[in-house]
Amino acid sequence: MTMRVQIDAGDVGAIQADTLVIPITRRGETPSALPQGLSAIDRRMGGRLADALAAGDFKANVGDRLVIYGPRDGDLVRCVLLGLGEAEKIDDAALRELGGRVGREAARANTGRVALVVPPGPGLAPERAAARLADGILLGAYDFDRYQTAGSKATGKGKGRDARRSASSRLRIAFVRRTKGLARLRSEVRDTLHVTESQIAARDLSNEPPNVIYPETLARACRSMARAVGLRCAVMSDAELRRRKMGAILAVGQGSQHPPRMIVLEHGATAARKKKGTLAMIGKGITFDSGGLSLKPAASMPDMKHDMSGAAAVFGAMRAIALLDLPIHVVGVIAAAENMPSGTAYRPSDIIESASGQTIEIVNTDAEGRLVMADALHHAVRTWKPDAMIDVATLTGAAMLAFGPWATAGLGNDDALLAELREAGDRAGETVWPMPLLDVHTKAMKSKVADWKNSGGRDAGVSTAGAFLKGFVGDTPWVHLDIAGSGMTSTQTPLHVGGATGVGVRMLTEWVSARAR
């Protein structure tokens, strides 16, 4: 379920919802009365909220939840009192998780209209609480169910395409009128949710099946997103890729019915903004990775619709950056191709020439990601000479084995830049953990018959893949993020039901906004 968000300031008393969430902090003692400004809601609830608090059962400790049902003939079905504990102690991650639990339950119960009422202090900073809770509610409620038609037997929850657009899946965030600085609060919540909704857009894109999202349709999705948020978008056709001698991405795509595309998204291309520098973000967009002629085993193939999660992260981050209108020049490059086995597919032992002029011996057609990235990295370096460049890719099974869904592998040629990304990740709730990039790793990627080979074998898979990419970035400060583990998972958390995580969107947006400051 995807929720639409509406922010209301003022008339909390008349708000309509299936589930009305009221966050409550405690300061020392157990709260015994409703926060200010909620008496109209309590009246509609037949006084039950105040009664419940007066009884003292609800301690408002972190995570405490008390569901209170309204009178049968009333117009409010249920209110959820949500404990936030001591207001000064609760951190962003905890707030977001609490929101996630609420969102998940609301989505499961199909109670589409959720309202979050934000009482004014004391002790509770409303903009922080509201933004983080709403962020969590949207992520927790997210489920990729758009292809489940009405009455779908499998889960009984599918609502189909029409219901998806219905007004009933909606989150309203309402501030109590007396809250100070309402206009600022609204805009802070709005900004947070730009990022949340961009992460959800990234999840959607990655979760789409590969018969729907292939290079041309990925480019189309970029174009329409760019138009909606005011980004520049340019798409290179396969003819243009040939003109530009992008032999690596062309080789990967040549076995597919769907030709490859290089997609460029650009934000803030003005002289004033360029003064703050130019940042580049490069995403791996393999819309399906069968392994090519070095075919993957059947069991590892279904997840490979997510092999464009790096592209989705760049897509989402560029969307958020545009909506936040961050004052800096940013380019996003997406290398889109489908890796298929066929009579026209590239072969193990082929020698190809990348856009940089460097030659590559193909030893394994399943090491395709680094090939498309080589052309994209080179293109970005040559075209914009960025001050810093980050690439995001579901590049190696080794990263998944090393970190599972819990961290993103980071390496590069600039320790300070890697530290920036780790800090941005920490602020955003995404963990980046460093991996080595040593000369021995570069050596392992040297071919006897060409400049490079595309696989160094099983040993140190994350680092050898990174060492290969390093060969195409020149002296541009660069960090490579391997999200093979963190980009998709069946591990559930309060903020994620499974499938694409949308990892990277938050971290990249946070990093760019720090650079823009």
Point out the residues that are catalytic.
296, 370
Give the nearest residue (CB) to Mn ion: 366
Residue 338 is a binding residue for Mn ion (CB under 5 A)? no
Residues 431-460 that bind ligand BES (CB under 6 A): 455
CB atoms within 10 A of CB 211: 10
- d(CA 97, CA 82) in angstroms, rounded, equals 12
Encoded one letter per residue, x for contact with ligand BES by CB under 6 A and - for no contact, window 394-413 reads xxxxx-x-------------
Based on the number of CB atoms within 10 Å of its own CB, is 223 exposed (0-12), middle (13-18) or buried (19 or more)?
Answer: middle
Find the shortest distance in angstroms from Cβ 295 to ligand BES: 11
Measured from the CB of residue 306, what is the shortest distance to ligand BES in angstroms? Answer: 7
- Residue 327 or 397: which CB sits closer to Mn ion? 397
- The answer to whether residue 367 forms part of the interface with ligand BES (CB under 6 A) is yes
User: Per rule CB under 6 A, is residue 307 in the interface with ligand BES?
Assistant: yes
Contact 396, 490 (CB under 8 A): no
289 contributes a contact to Mn ion by CB under 5 A: yes
Q: Which CB, 396 or 501, lies closer to Mn ion?
A: 396
Q: What is the CA radius of gyration of the chain?
A: 25
Size, binding site for Mn ion by CB under 5 A = 3
Which residues lie closer than 8 Å to 231 by C-beta, 6 or more apart? 225, 265, 266, 267, 318, 319, 322
Q: Pick what 484 binds: ligand BES, Mn ion, Zn ion, none; C-beta below 5 to 8 Å, kind-dependent.
A: ligand BES
Q: How far apart, in whole angstroms, are the C-alpha atoms of residue 57 and residue 66? A: 9
Interface pattern 361-390 for Mn ion (x via CB under 5 A): -----x-x----------------------
Cα 428 from Cα 127, distance rounded (Å): 17
What residues contact 388, with CB distance under 8 A and at least 6 apart? 277, 279, 280, 414, 417, 476, 477, 478, 479, 515
Stretch that binds ligand BES, among 228-236, 244-252, 266-274, 363-371 (CB under 6 A): 363-371
Please identify which residue in 137, 201, 484, 497 interacts with ligand BES, judged by CB under 6 A: 484
- Of 59-67, 196-204, 286-294, 454-462, the segment contacting Mn ion by CB under 5 A is 286-294
Q: List residues binding Zn ion (CB under 5 A).
A: 286, 289, 307, 369
Cα distance between residue 138 and residue 171, in whole Å: 8
CA distance 424 to 512: 9
463 is an interface residue for ligand BES by CB under 6 A = no
- Name the token pair of 386: 């960025």
Please say which residue, 278 or 365, places its beta carbon nearer to ligand BES: 365
Q: Yes or no: say if 255 and 310 are a contact pair by the CB < 8 Å rule.
A: no
Residues that bind Mn ion (CB under 5 A): 289, 366, 368
Residues that bind ligand BES (CB under 6 A): 289, 303, 307, 364, 366-369, 394-398, 400, 455, 461, 484
